[in-house]
Structure 1
Amino acid sequence: MSAIQFHRTANGFTGYDKEMNQSVRYATASETGLDGPDQVLATDVDTTCESNGKVRIKLDKNEYNSCIPVSIPGAFTKTVNLYPDHIALVSSLGDDGKRTMYTYREYEQTVKTVAKAFLELGLERHYAVCLLGFNSPEWFIADLAAIYAGGLAAGIYTTNSPEACQYCAEHSKANIIVVEDKKQLGKILQIKKDLPDLKAIIQYSGIPTEKDVLSWNDLLEIGKRASDSKLLSVLKTIGANECCTLVYTSGTVGKPKAVMLSHDNLLHGARSLFTTMELKTKTETVVSYLPLSHIAAQVCDIIASVLAASTVYFADKNALRGSLVETLLVAQPTVLLAVPRVWEKIYEKMQEKAHSNGAIKTWIARWAKSQGLYYHMNKMNGVDYKNWSYIFAKWLIFDKIKAALGLQRCRLFITAAAPLNINIKKYFLSLDIPIIEAYGMSECGGAHTIGDYKEYRLYGVGIPLSGVYTKLDNIDEHGEGEVCMGGRHVFMGYLNAPEKTAEATDKNGWLHSGDLGKIDSNGILSITGRIKELIITSGGENVAPLNIEHAILSELPALSNTMLIGDKRKYLTVLVTLKSNVNSETGEPLDTLNPDVLKWAKSIGSNAETVTDVISSRDPFIYEEIDKAIKRANAHAISNAQKVQKFEILPHDFSIPTGELGPTLKLRRNIVTNMYADLIEKMYQ
């Protein structure tokens, strides 16, 4: 079967069977001017693995792809000229209980000051500034300053060990490392002697006491004393088609790869989001709290916010441990991007609250949710009719819930980075909070598809963003194929890794995601599995674990995570975890069962209160219910080889601190397999 390509146009969604490069031309220097930073530098290649490399920018007849390339400094300056006094950044609460605000004029001026300081400290062209810390105005400013100064901005995950930090800093040839506090500084001081290119370390929170470590104020003073001439000279050499940002993959298998993204990659992806989500200039408010070392937060919080002249509020570093709502109440965001774990935590807190309600409140809440779900399900079926019951439920319940969460102004609720459980999506939908899914990867500058908030669907990850292309490759008899992406948002290459780059992109410029997907008649993409995670049983059956894992989770809400086992085995088995409480300080899973699970356990006759109770006694009530859930999921299997035969409960839930999840909350299957090798073997004895 031939590959089918889909993309969005100004007149709607179309599909056709052509290679995207048949009507391509390349942007030239004469179109953009000869002086940087908004120039296109001469080159004849489409990929590069060198930090000083340039790539061609493909333009086509699609209105979104025909726009002339610009640089990030160029785009930023345009916004500043239009909205100089609009509030750009609002910090988290300081020690004095106040928030620091930056207008767009102050924002860019500080970026230029820090860029001048970086140059004074010895930042070389195409060398990196590594950033290690929680979200803050200083993180944004240092990131953009590195780009203005002709360097590469490179975020490092705050959860990284000193050795992992060393790899990123050494690999990117970091001249400068910017850290948040004493804790992160300690990691860099341990490895400082092994970083030959390092020239300066800056700590942006608190006053450093270590020798040769600069404070944020020290950095600003250096920049204020420096002349503008060096920065202006560097800006003239910058091109929109050269690398400005490195995004390190989470490295679940082998060393992390450094994804090279150009000015045009990032801006094209951000423009596509801007257009598709119909963002309004000088109107949007967002909250920054997801890790900025991840592409999603960088594009949404930094780049798209600059294009839209949004106001960005910063949460405190305990946001993912429960304090996010406090910032939401202050910021009143119009767009909320969250990973599934955040939506799950909000859901769990709401469930706890619901359990404390009396009988009357419980009945009213159930009635309201039934009206909300009824309205939205009808809307999905083409019946957009707001009956009085829905309107009353919205006034009585839904608006109050949104107000309590700080979401009464929010019109876009987005989940990304991993699949969100369908039952949780239905729960929020019943509360008039339709969560749409976004799908993409670092290599395509963030998002590639996103759900349509006007024509909501519970299933799938949406349709392509404006001006990007999707095709399925090697489609099988079930209509599944590898998801491939095309467009100006596709990365330049992996730094210093030509073989890996060649594996990821083909000769026509398509980025091969490694994900399996299906596209329905409406053009909606669904991710059905991952090629590298395909299980091949000893009988030769190919099994995509994702669908089976989700099917089991959907059958039993008491389960938190599942991981399918069966590669080169005679039959499939599964490891499961029960929902448990979490240490609010460290994020580690506790032994005590989640309140919802406790209530469920008692309802089926179990007296277990901890995961240890369940496993040590092989609690017959809980084990039997899990077995029943697996059998219900098996009933939908397409063959006997796709049915799960056995399971085991793990001693704790998956998390970043315990190692099963990577920094972007993706399951590290090889780690789990090694951790529980004995338990897995037990299921095959």
Structure 2
Amino acid sequence: MSDTQTLIENRPPSVANLFLERVVKTPDAEAYRYPVPAASGTGPDEWKSLTWGGTAERVFAIAAGLVDLGLRAEDRVALMSATRVEWILTDLAILCAGAATTTVYPQTNAEEAAFIVADSASKVLIAENAEQLAKARTQRAALPELDHVVLIDAAGHQADPGDPEGWILTLAELEARGAALLEREPGVVKDRVAAITADQLATLIYTSGTTGRPKGVRLPHDNWSYMAKAIAATGLIGADDVQYLWLPLAHVFGKVLTSGQIELGHVTAVDGRIDKIIENLPVVQPTYMAAVPRIFEKVYNGVAAKARAGGPAKYKIFQWAAGVSREYARTSQDSFRRTGRADVPFGLRSKHKVADALVYSKLRDAFGGRLRACISGSAALSPEIGFFFAGAGVHILEGYGLTESSAASFVNPGEAYRTGTVGKPLPGTEVRIAEDGEVMLRGPGIMQGYHGLPEKTAEVLESDGWLHTGDIGELSEDGYLRITDRKKDLIKTSGGKYVAPAEVEGLFKAVCPYVSNIVVHGADRNFCTALIALDEPAILGWAAETGLEGKSYGEVLAAPETNALVQGYVTELNQGLQRWQTVKKFRLLPRDLDVEHGDLTPSLKLKRPAVEREFKHLLDEMYTGAREA
């Protein structure tokens, strides 16, 4: 047995144990950075720090406060907040108290939030602000087991005479209660940590799903302890790294990153405001960050649009540099696969050097200048976009996992990464491909099951521990996994041909710099069509150069010039597809797809059934009277 395997198999029962070990090892080292708005109300944010020792003080106080509220082992605490340092502090405190965190996205509406809090039987809700508190107030009749609401940010909060006495307290008040308990019983939190067992519930994450009520995925303490050790064992991250963490922590992808950081002890800068990413990156100067493909698509489209706005010559340089970047990445990755060295011919190296000075270096500077790698997950990244960034020196390591597998089941192995694959399994995780192509997983990261839904659990979790992922994939001879599509999303046309819509959609995103989202449709139809949403800033920038300046977004979408522009990109897409995959017709959507309208999950995954229902009239219009094969 290898030293790595021994370390993973001899892991402690919980991340709470790992946290205590980390605090003892490096109490004075920096743990977290977080932004605080300028005192004047204008100007850039001020970034502050917490050491591991300072983090422990706050975590212990919050944990003791929860104990003082009467929480026992495995009692649930719902956490409804955007990504911020207090999310991490309160989650760690819940774990250290031996309780379990129920994660709730702050975008969740009041009715669904109440369902999650009630279904999980959460006794305490930690709400970010008055807006989140209002959801609990309006649904209080549906939450008979909710004893307390803890308010992280009390700004704008007003007392309500209808609130039960003692129902609401601020996070500061909870910490004060905890500090008082710690004075009376100094060992209360450490005793709770010592009592945690590996199979004890740590986290309930409700899958957003595309239909019906969300299901609560039960993840015990051992899942996170395993993840922490397995992430460290990949060697991708070290103690000297600086992570920029903006992903939703209510999602398993964001949550798992907190475990790896505790094991390794590096710095994490925390700010969940998506509109601040571009501003924050040069300030934080991260060495690694995780993101979903939509972020890389937006960066790519933004760079392309900026180049086009600079005039024909500048845009031509960008297009040339993008082609060089992709060729360079493909050549170097292919060389590494064959020889273990990333050799590139002299002529291509020379072109790459020129393109680097003109384009790539500016792109790396926009990411802070120190970025060693990005981790991409949650959905498929278009290989063409991946190769572009790889050749530009922004290395995107795609990974794969589910909420049901604690997120990190596969990741690309550093220098040996292969764009278009999700890499190799983490140490301790097994994989096999079923006869129908479905990816099956087994290992210490797999969930206990769905909360209160044994029948649903039995549908995906075999008695011998194998999890049905619902994804179709292929394994290379040397263990790299490529996900081709969701099993349920595969399109079978009326002619009996199968089409993987995600593959076609990814190719279009690499071809068209103006697309924001695309939905390929064709199940039981005789040809494929597409619903296309255009990126508003990018298409308005194009419109200003083509005689449509001053027009609204809606007017630009309705212009025949815009339709002709997109048709050109659809034609280009079709040239690289099999006949039955080609998009015969398309319609431009009147708005972008988003979380608020229910088109995307909070982790920005496409809800195909929801989009197809809302825009059914456009789909029907494309097939009415159609006879194309």
Above 0.5 in TM-score?
yes
Q: Does 1:77 align with 2:55?
A: no
Match of 1:19 in 2: none
After superposition, where does 1:271-350 map in structure 2 within 5 Å?
A: 271-281=229-239, 283-300=240-257, 302-315=258-271, 317=272, 319-321=273-275, 323-350=276-303
- For the Cα contact (< 8 Å) 1:130–1:155, is it kept in 2? yes
**What is the alpha-carbon distance in structure 1 between the residues aligned to residue 289 and residue 384 of structure 2?**
20
SS for the counterpart of 2:483 is strand
SS for the counterpart of 1:174 is coil
After superposition, where does 1:661-680 map in structure 2 within 5 Å?
A: 661-680=600-619
**What is the alpha-carbon distance in structure 1 between the residues aligned to residue 449 and residue 387 of structure 2?**
39
Q: Does 1:612 align with 2:554?
A: yes
- The amino acid of 1:133's aligned partner reads S
After superposition, where does 1:242-261 map in structure 2 within 5 Å?
A: 242-261=200-219
Match of 1:428 in 2: 389
Superposed displacement of residue 177, structure 1:
0.8
After TM superposition, the score normalised by the length of structure 2 is 0.87
- The amino acid of 1:159's aligned partner reads Q
Q: 1:384 pairs with 331, 339, 343, which one?
A: 343
**What is the alpha-carbon distance in structure 2 between the residues aligned to residue 210 and residue 397 of structure 1?**
55
Q: Aligned pairs, how many?
A: 600
Structure 2: gaps of 5 or more residues = 40-44, 161-165, 336-341, 625-629
Superposed displacement of residue 232, structure 1:
4.6
Match of 1:168 in 2: 116
- The amino acid of 1:304's aligned partner reads G
CA, structure 1 residues 396+355, in 2 after alignment: closer, same or farther (shift >3 Å)? closer
1:334-376, CA deviations, whole angstroms, 9 ceiling, x for partnerless residues? 1111112222333344334434557887787677666655543
Q: 1:484 pairs with 440, 460, 465, which one?
A: 440
After superposition, where does 1:88-127 map in structure 2 within 5 Å?
A: 88-96=31-39, 98-127=46-75
Q: 2:424 pairs with 450, 459, 463, which one?
A: 463
Superposed displacement of residue 69, structure 1:
4.0
Q: 2:105 pairs with 149, 153, 157, which one?
A: 157
Structure 1: gaps of 5 or more residues = 1-8, 12-60, 476-480, 582-591
1:437-491, CA deviations, whole angstroms, 9 ceiling, x for partnerless residues? 111111110121122331242322222222212111014xxxxx00111111111
Q: Does 1:222 align with 2:177?
A: yes
After TM superposition, the score normalised by the length of structure 1 is 0.81
CA, structure 1 residues 452+594, in 2 after alignment: closer, same or farther (shift >3 Å)? farther
**What is the alpha-carbon distance in structure 1 between the residues aligned to residue 238 and residue 505 of structure 2?**
39
- The amino acid of 1:488's aligned partner reads P
- The amino acid of 2:159's aligned partner reads E
Superposed displacement of residue 548, structure 1:
2.8
**What is the alpha-carbon distance in structure 2 between the residues aligned to residue 623 and residue 381 of structure 1?**
38
Compare 184-193 and 283-292 and name the one that shifted more: 184-193
- The amino acid of 2:287's aligned partner reads T
Superposed displacement of residue 390, structure 1:
4.7
Match of 1:30 in 2: none
SS for the counterpart of 2:139 is helix
After superposition, where does 1:592-671 map in structure 2 within 5 Å?
A: 593-596=539-542, 602=546, 609-610=551-552, 612-613=554-555, 616=558, 619=560, 621-624=561-564, 626-627=566-567, 629-638=569-578, 640=580, 642-671=581-610
**What is the alpha-carbon distance in structure 1 between the residues aligned to residue 353 and residue 575 of structure 2?**
39
Compare 390-399 and 135-144 and name the one that shifted more: 390-399
Provide the identity percentage: 28
Higher helix share: 2
Match of 1:32 in 2: none
Q: Does 1:502 align with 2:451?
A: no
CA, structure 1 residues 235+428, in 2 after alignment: closer, same or farther (shift >3 Å)? closer
**What is the alpha-carbon distance in structure 2 between the residues aligned to residue 431 and residue 410 of structure 1?**
12
Match of 2:488 in 1: 532
Match of 1:684 in 2: 623
- The amino acid of 1:287's aligned partner reads Y
Match of 2:367 in 1: 405
1:165-222, CA deviations, whole angstroms, 9 ceiling, x for partnerless residues? 1011111111111111121121122122321111111111235432542122111110
**What is the alpha-carbon distance in structure 2 between the residues aligned to residue 545 and residue 330 of structure 1?**
39
**What is the alpha-carbon distance in structure 2 between the residues aligned to residue 661 and residue 264 of structure 1?**
31
